[in-house]
A = this chain, B = another copy of it.
Amino acid sequence: MLENLQKIRIENPVDLIISQVRNLISSGAIKPGEKLPSERKLAEHLGVSRSQVRSAINKLEFYGIVRVAPQSGTIATGLGIVALEGLITDILKIENADFKSLVETRVLLEKEAARLAALNREESDLEEMKKALQAYEDKLSQGESAVEEDLLFHIKIAEASKNAVLKSLMLVITPDIVNSYINLKVCSESKTRVTIAEHREILEKIKNKDSEGATKAMAFHLDAVQDFSKNFKPQ
């Protein structure tokens, strides 16, 4: 009987405010560089309290839609495109993404990171990567799970690539990867030895500035996971 009841959508008031303000910008009522109405006026017009408007503006600032200038005002940035198509909600909501997309994208980033790392790495980078690899092995030898240490090694590679954007993007998707791996139990305990060997192989190629080899080693290393994502449908 209760199944007949429709699920009602309880919209977060802050989200409603966000979409209103976003419309203000994307409709052209407020052009990039112009100031938004003050928090008080917005609150009054929308019939909500100032703190809620405040919270909404905070989020918008995070998304890069607006920039707040203390004691002066909130101005719309020129990045209208993000607001343009109601895409805001998509940004950083990768948690809804399917595992396949996640792995697919990860492989793409990782291969490029390995390639660039082989070209651009410095001695200090090699040290960092060695340390990360050691931490990973230590954790494993204690019989514990080491998903985070594993990924830390990969992030060190991204650092060695000297491409800050690449590293940032890897950091963005890393939490989701950790979650997925833990939830889906990707890491079978038996394969840890293989994993370590593969990590060492990658490190070696990067050390030798062999960009092609590093790319291939990384691709090989991630192959198992990728196959897993292709053949396995989560949920």
Contact = CB atoms under 8 A, between A and B. Distances in A.
Contact of A90 (B64, B96, B108, B167): B167
A94 B164 contact: yes
A49 interface: no
A173 interface: yes
A179 interface: yes
A82 B171 contact: yes
A23 interface: no
Interface string A168-202: 11011111101100100000000000000000000
A64 B171 CA distance: 11
A58 interface: yes
A173 B182 contact: no
Interface in A64-99: 64, 77-82, 84-85, 87, 90-94, 96-98
A25 to B, nearest CB: 12
17 contacts: A58-B58, A77-B175, A78-B179, A78-B182, A79-B175, A81-B152, A81-B174, A81-B175, A92-B172, A94-B165, A97-B164, A101-B162, A101-B165, A104-B166, A105-B112, A108-B108, A169-B169
Interface of A: 58, 62, 64, 77-82, 84-85, 87, 90-94, 96-98, 101-102, 104-105, 108-109, 112, 116, 148, 151-152, 155, 162-169, 171-176, 178-179, 182
Q: Ordered nearest first, which 3 A-B pairs have the shortest CB separation? A: A81-B148, A79-B175, A97-B164
